[in-house]
Amino acid sequence: MGMWVSLDALWEIPAEKRIFGAVLLFSWTVYLWETFLAQRQRRIYKTTTHVPPELGQIMDSETFEKSRLYQLDKSTFSFWSGLYSEIEGTLILLFGGIPYLWRLSGRFCGYAGFGPEYEITQSLVFLLLATLFSALTGLPWSLYNTFVIEEKHGFNQQTLGFFMKDAIKKFVVTQCILLPVSSLLLYIIKIGGDYFFIYAWLFTLVVSLVLVTIYADYIAPLFDKFTPLPEGKLKEEIEVMAKSIDFPLTKVYVVEGSKRSSHSNAYFYGFFKNKRIVLFDTLLEEYSVLNKDIQEDSGMEPRNEEEGNSEEIKAKVKNKKQGCKNEEVLAVLGHELGHWKLGHTVKNIIISQMNSFLCFFLFAVLIGRKELFAAFGFYDSQPTLIGLLIIFQFIFSPYNEVLSFCLTVLSRRFEFQADAFAKKLGKAKDLYSALIKLNKDNLGFPVSDWLFSMWHYSHPPLLERLQALKSMKQH
């Protein structure tokens, strides 16, 4: 009886209060779930202080300890930045930060002679102020992560000047894309009539395809230096491998990733018959700036130097990031090209666009509900941009969590398939050693809590990948 009374009382609460309460409750539920998972993983970092027997051949105890301490520091940082983010988000909602920023944007527009009928102009000012606020509150965390954690563990290669210049450049480039795209999207929603959600979806599809096409040629070079991979054995072998699986390769680039970090990576991009491969210089043993430093140091050493000095250089060589040999780089690329050949890229685009269409359709259904706006402090007006923000960020958050988990599971499956593809190309042995090297170079910790890894890892844990490769490794 008491339960029914409390349910009745709940339904007597105005709809906008129920919506607001549900949004806050869900946000904190997700936060507590993530914190619970992180604590489970943190316990593993703290208690697994010795290399487990099954990893004996894969990782030496020194690297194991380094990676343990690195991940422990990252975990602590994650906890505090996550807590700050959740509290900040809650305070913005509780104290009406969103309607306040909207009114402030209106005031700025008023000073410039634009009245309330210029909703799109006001929306752009709102976006500019919101992204500026986000960039400024995120800056101390980003600085700490780069210059304390990454620096302490030997990954950071940036100076403070480079970092700040980079941050300003990122902000400006983001605005140059965000503001024109947003104004066009809002205009389409305004004039689109009953079927505006179809036009809005088609517009975002075209924008995402254009951005993918121009990103590596026009946007990425604003931040990093790209140079064509010089003629030689590695380039020839990459071209032969691409041709053997009909990958329409047009160019291979090396990106100077070592300017900002010693983490390594490789990817491909482009549509149809115009594919390019990008390799980070930190991935390539013969390109790595760090390896060049070692050669210079060992080259400077006189022959009759004391034993201690040569020991120091040996230690330096041992501790430096090593990158991968050519055969291993080819194996990593075999894996990446496997994603293309097996249609993983296309499948991901299709899933993303189906999701986007569904979201716009549901947005069209919900945008007329005034109680959604009232829940977030908008009683007199229902601006389109605010509707997008409320519905996509808050109302869809339970759906987004479920979708994100499903995509993580799918991504792990794709990774196993791409490994198996590299094995078919005869690269199992080289991929096996490349994965070990990359894990070591990036200080990945090879032991994980099953629940944490299931929820978060888009790539299978190292040991699982190695075991799968071992069972199919050619002798």
Binding residues for Zn(2+): 335, 339, 415
Known binding residues are 335, 339, 415
Task: Let me know if 327 is a catalytic residue.
Answer: no
| Contact (Cβ atoms closer than 8 angstroms) between residue 379 and residue 102 | no
Which residue in 16, 328, 419, 449 is the catalytic one?
A: 419
Which residue in 16, 281, 328, 336 is the catalytic one?
A: 336
Task: Let me know if 224 is a catalytic residue.
Answer: no
Write out the catalytic residue numbers: 336, 419
